[in-house]
Amino acid sequence: MTESSDDRRNHPRYSTSLELQGTPQEGGVVARMVADNLSVGGLYCTSTVDFPEMTRLAVRLMLPIRRNDVTVTESVEIEAVVVRREALVGGNGDPRFKLGLFFTDLEAHAKESLTRYLER
């Protein structure tokens, strides 16, 4: 992964291509997303579903973790809020949206798994 820096950020961002799911906390549709970059504080992703700014999401990251020379997928649950939203113009007619998510609740286990993934 490649680290990027931005003076406004508290945590370094790493370029990645990571699958995740997002569901509004009040319930509803499950959005399939792909993270473009990721940090311990949030992520920037492409989504199949549009969520307005300030929408609270339950996010499930699918982290590929290497254990004993075997790669396993670890599901990590995180609460987040949409802080940035941009509609993409797609050539194939499928709607896509760029979303910036800020992690609002990152439990110790989730933070440990995310940190381990980012440090690989």
Which CATH number goes with the domain that contains 78? 2.40.10.220
pLDDT digits (tens, 9 = 90+) for 67-97: 788 888 889 999 999 999 999 876 676 778 9
* Tokens 């989504």, located at residue: 47
End-to-end CA distance of the chain: 8
Per the structure, the complete domain to which residue 85 belongs is given by 3-118
Q: What angle do CA 49, 44, 70 make, to 5 degrees?
A: 100
Please state the domain count of the chain. 1
Q: Are 46 and 96 in contact (CB under 8 A)?
A: yes
Supply the Cα-derived Rg of the chain in whole angstroms.
14
pTM: 0.84
* Tokens 């609002």, located at residue: 104
Token readout for 28 is 């509803």
Low-confidence residues in the chain, pLDDT < 70? 1-10, 90-91, 93
Q: What local confidence, expressed as pLDDT, does residue 7 receive? A: 43
